[in-house]
């Protein structure tokens, strides 16, 4: 997709999503200190903004200060992460960052960096292990350093990928988005994609019939075509049209590839949905069905 048309496409996605998920003014955390943005970034990856905001509030309410978090037992740090998936690993990352910060600065304040040029600040922050995560780096850039960054995690990447905005890795995808979506719309854009990723464009089988983007989504088109083709060729399959193509259930990557492949070749025959032919031998009392010798039915249309 050329840059211009990609910008236009992303703009269309933004407008559709804005209609569906009315932007809520209090959803984003607003400007944060660098330290808070690191903790928020660790909490927020593949988790909703609301959950990440709540976790950040719990850290502020349940601990005396950040030093208290640093010296607390890992179970207490984990408790602040409550309903967030993978709390142990996140708690470890947060505590490691605080320890590293304390060892380097004997304090818990990095805000002098926010006054430096962005590149310089980011270079200094790369010394911290937490910044090995592209998502955390982008979150801090966006929420604490005032730069143009669009944090992408695997949830938002999944949704964008299905929409045909696919890149080989997250940093490349992020760079593409940052070029195509202007800074003043970047935060709202990614918030809306995040809503999509946690609402209908979920792992496994997405809920395309309920999605605002289904008319412009290549994945949804492929799924529909595959369902139609399945309905035509498989005599026993009823018109369960909205069902996703066969692959999505198994793995989050394969359906993406299948949809992409299919989107590339609109004329190609649809990726076969689960072949309905395999059935256990009919019981004596089964309703009379057209006799089908299973092995020969598969290829024949």
Nearest to 70 by CA among 100, 25, 48: 100
Helices (H), 87-245: 87-105, 118-125, 134-143, 154-162, 170-180, 183-199, 218-233
Of residues 41 and 248, the one with the C-beta less far from ligand SF4:
248
Q: Whole-number minimum distance, CB 216 to ligand SF4, in Å?
A: 8
- Answer left, alpha or beta for residue 6, where phi above 0 means left and psi between -120 and 50 means alpha: alpha
Q: Whole-number minimum distance, CB 192 to ligand SF4, in Å?
A: 12
Q: Whole-number minimum distance, CB 220 to ligand SF4, in Å?
A: 4
Of residues 20 and 96, the one with the C-beta less far from ligand SF4:
20
Q: Whole-number minimum distance, CB 213 to ligand SF4, in Å?
A: 4
Phi, psi (5° rounding) for residue 202?
A: -85, 165
Of residues 29 and 203, the one with the C-beta less far from ligand SF4:
203
Pairwise CA distance, residues 58 & 81, whole Å: 8
Of residues 211 and 227, the one with the C-beta less far from ligand SF4:
211
Neighbours of 26 (CB within 10 A): 8
Nearest to 166 by CA among 290, 60, 297, 257: 257
Helices 170-180 and 183-199: crossing angle in degrees, nearest 10, is: 130
Helices 170-180 and 3-20: crossing angle in degrees, nearest 10, is: 90
Q: Which residues bind ligand SF4 (CB under 6 A)?
A: 159, 162-163, 200-201, 206-208, 211, 213-214, 217, 219-220
Q: Whole-number minimum distance, CB 20 to ligand SF4, in Å?
A: 10
Q: Whole-number minimum distance, CB 215 to ligand SF4, in Å?
A: 8
Of residues 137 and 156, the one with the C-beta less far from ligand SF4:
156
What burial class does residue 4 get, using C-beta atoms within 10 Å of its C-beta: 0-12 exposed, 13-18 middle, 19+ buried?
A: exposed
Of residues 145 and 208, the one with the C-beta less far from ligand SF4:
208
Using alpha carbons only, give the angle 84, 252, 179 rounded to the nearest 5 degrees.
85
Q: Whole-number minimum distance, CB 225 to ligand SF4, in Å?
A: 13
Of residues 78 and 162, the one with the C-beta less far from ligand SF4:
162
**Structure-block tokens of residue 131:** 């910044």
């Amino acid at each position: 997709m050329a840059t211009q048309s990609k910008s236009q496409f992303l703009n269309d996605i933004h407008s559709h999503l804005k209609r569906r998920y009315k932007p809520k003014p209090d959803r984003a955390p607003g400007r944060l200190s660098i330290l808070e943005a690191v903790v928020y970034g660790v909490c927020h990856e593949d988790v909703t903004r609301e959950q990440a905001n709540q976790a950040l509030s719990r850290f502020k309410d349940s601990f005396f200060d950040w030093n208290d978090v640093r010296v607390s037992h890992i179970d207490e740090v984990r408790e602040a992460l409550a309903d967030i998936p993978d709390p142990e690993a996140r708690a470890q990352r947060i505590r490691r960052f605080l320890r590293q910060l304390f060892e380097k600065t004997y304090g818990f304040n990095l805000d002098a960096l926010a006054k430096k040029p962005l590149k310089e600040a980011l270079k200094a922050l790369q010394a911290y292990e937490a910044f090995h995560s592209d998502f955390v780096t982008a979150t801090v850039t966006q929420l604490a350093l005032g730069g143009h960054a669009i944090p992408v995690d695997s949830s938002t990447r999944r949704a964008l990928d299905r929409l045909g905005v696919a890149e080989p890795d997250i940093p490349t995808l992020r760079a593409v988005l940052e070029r195509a979506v202007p800074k003043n719309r970047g935060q709202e854009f990614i918030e809306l994609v995040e809503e999509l990723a946690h609402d209908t464009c979920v792992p496994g089988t997405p809920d395309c019939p309920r999605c605002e983007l289904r008319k412009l989504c290549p994945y949804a088109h492929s799924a529909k075509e595959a369902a139609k083709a399945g309905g035509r060729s498989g005599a026993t399959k009823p018109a369960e049209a909205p069902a996703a193509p066969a692959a999505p259930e198994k793995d989050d990557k394969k359906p993406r590839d299948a949809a992409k492949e299919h989107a590339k070749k609109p004329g190609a025959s649809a990726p076969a949905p689960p072949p309905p032919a395999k059935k256990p031998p009919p019981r004596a009392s089964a309703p009379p069905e057209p006799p089908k010798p299973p092995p020969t039915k598969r290829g024949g249309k």
